[in-house]
Structure 1
Amino acid sequence: MSQSGARVSAQVGEEFQKLKRSSDRNRLLRYIVFKLSDDYSEIEVEHAEADSDWDNFREKLLNATSKSKTGAVGKGPRYAVYDFGFKFDGRDINKIILIAWSPDDAGVHPKMIYAASKEALKRSLEGFAYEIQANDSDDLEYASILNAVLAKVNA
């Protein structure tokens, strides 16, 4: 692992391209959850799903775990991209959002490695519209994400 974080696996880009090619009529993927490998050297795909149920997606992030340097398992950070649909000015809009999930109660070591690796992931995900940082369960509520996206649309 380099000083700047983990490398990005080829599967990350492949799955992201599938998500970008999806349409409402041909929904291959709605979201992808990424995690760091157990040795923290590589960002890899943990889940790639066509399921549009926000609560199922949210639960995957809330239940994520990571190992600390000592081997203890606790709450874990994750990255995710979601093809987020919403209404704006009476129109249906979809934007791919990147969510950086780093729960406040996660271990310091996993949080540091995830933070250091985020730029490498962002470079491999060309085409997402907005980035959102989430640190507690309220940040992952649908209404919170919608408000964050609308604030960015209106900016």
Structure 2
Amino acid sequence: MSRSGVAVADESLSAFNDLKLGKKHKFILFGLNDNKTEIVVKETSNDDSYDTFLEKLPENDCLYAVYDFEYEISGNEGKRSKIIFFTWSPDTAPVRSKMVYASSKDALRRSLNGVAADIQGTDFSEVAYETVLDRVRSGTH
């Protein structure tokens, strides 16, 4: 339970484990239910395109997302994969929505074990592929 009184739905944890352990999803979008009492799965996807993920981020509303981010290592080391947690809170979202999402984030984030980095996005430049790639490669959270 978060400071805002919002709980994490069991389905949210199941979907995350499917992504992390089963590689069943490429990304998961989470949001608050209609009563603003629970964090639920809004959508899952197997689409490998990062652009598809970005297209799912609403222009005027908040959400959380988990993305299985793959990237190349320089040299011949091949691909790596890191799970990234996104808090999407665009400047154009309603203030109330931004407040509820900000105060509810910890409840979800603490229950997701195995996340390599956290990205806070208020506009698309902060969640652009190159921005996330730089963050993952540098190892900063």
- Per the normalisation by structure 1, the TM-score is 0.82
Quick check: 1:76–1:110 contact (8 Å CA) kept in 2?
Answer: yes
AA at the equivalent of 2:116 = A
Aligned pairs (5 A) from 1:74-85: 75-85=60-70
2:116 to 120, 129, 151: 129
Distance 1:146 1:62 in 2: 22
Deviation at 1:53, TM superposition (A): 0.9
Distance 2:61 2:34 in 1: 12
Quick check: 1:5–1:113 contact (8 Å CA) kept in 2?
Answer: no
Distance 1:103 1:56 in 2: 18
Deviation at 1:120, TM superposition (A): 0.3
Distance 2:124 2:74 in 1: 28
SS in structure 2 of the partner of residue 52 of structure 1 = coil
Partner of 1:60: 56
Contiguous gaps of at least 5 residues in structure 1: 64-74
Distance 1:62 1:139 in 2: 14
Measured against aligned partners, the alpha-carbon deviations of 1:42-61 in whole angstroms (never above 9, x if no partner) come to 10000111111111110111
- Per the normalisation by structure 2, the TM-score is 0.90
Distance 1:76 1:28 in 2: 26
Deviation at 1:2, TM superposition (A): 6.6
Between 143-152 and 12-21, the greater mean CA deviation after superposition: 143-152
SS in structure 1 of the partner of residue 106 of structure 2 = helix
Quick check: 1:11–1:44 contact (8 Å CA) kept in 2?
Answer: yes
1:108 to 53, 74, 95: 95
Asked if 1:32 is matched to 2:28, the reply is: yes
Displaced runs of 4 or more, over 2 A: 1-5, 88-91
Between 11-20 and 87-96, the greater mean CA deviation after superposition: 87-96
Partner of 1:9: 9
Question: Alignment RMSD, CA only?
Answer: 1.8
Measured against aligned partners, the alpha-carbon deviations of 1:50-88 in whole angstroms (never above 9, x if no partner) come to 11111111011135xxxxxxxxxxx11110000000123
SS in structure 2 of the partner of residue 112 of structure 1 = helix
Closer/same/farther in 2, CA of residues 128 and 2 from structure 1, 3 Å limit: closer
Quick check: 1:31–1:49 contact (8 Å CA) kept in 2?
Answer: yes
Quick check: 1:16–1:125 contact (8 Å CA) kept in 2?
Answer: yes
